[in-house]
Amino acid sequence: MNDTTIIVLISVALSAVAVVWAVLKWNSRRSARYLMRATGVILMVVGAAFAGLTGQVVEWMRHLAQLTTTISIGLGLAALGLIAYFIGGAIKAPTKDEAKLREYERQAKRREEDAKAAAKADRLAKKAQGPAPKPAEPTVAPPPAAPGAGESTDPDDEVANILRKHNIE
């Protein structure tokens, strides 16, 4: 098979894959997004064929005929990357409200975990201190201080002193 035939077959195959994908997505969502994506892929494939890039890919594939372990690993990783890319594109992005709700839930869970960790730390600290000490015996309050110099024991004088302290007339 000559290079031109191979290039045409590759271009038709990739375009057919894009069309099938677009039709499947269109049937499930009825969104022009997928039609535009498929149109973009088809135009890239045809453009690559006209620009000669597909021919270079064909030559590169012939070079890969001497498949080494390194080249096999590289091709496998590239294929996995392509699969991951398409799976990632198929995952629905959350709306702003859903994203906010997820963030609130994460914060609430973090606060709950922090509270549990603090309670655990308190229990460990109490355990390390040993048994709780017995409450102290109640003591008798000391008698009130004797009036100082210049203060009288007359209740009316005490009230006047309090009013003077607080600048109340």
Query: pLDDT by residue (tens digit) across 104-127?
Result: 898 999 999 999 999 998 888 888
pTM: 0.40
CB hemisphere CA count around 86 (13 angstroms)? 14
The domain locations on the chain are 3-92, 94-126
Whole-angstrom distance, CA of residue 74 vs CA of residue 60: 14
Can you list the residues of the chain whose pLDDT is less than 70?
Answer: 130-155, 168-169
- Token pair, residue 107, equals 């914060």
pLDDT digits (tens, 9 = 90+) for 2-23: 878 888 888 889 889 888 888 8
Which residues neighbour 3 within 8 Å (Cβ) at sequence distance 6 or greater?
55, 58, 59
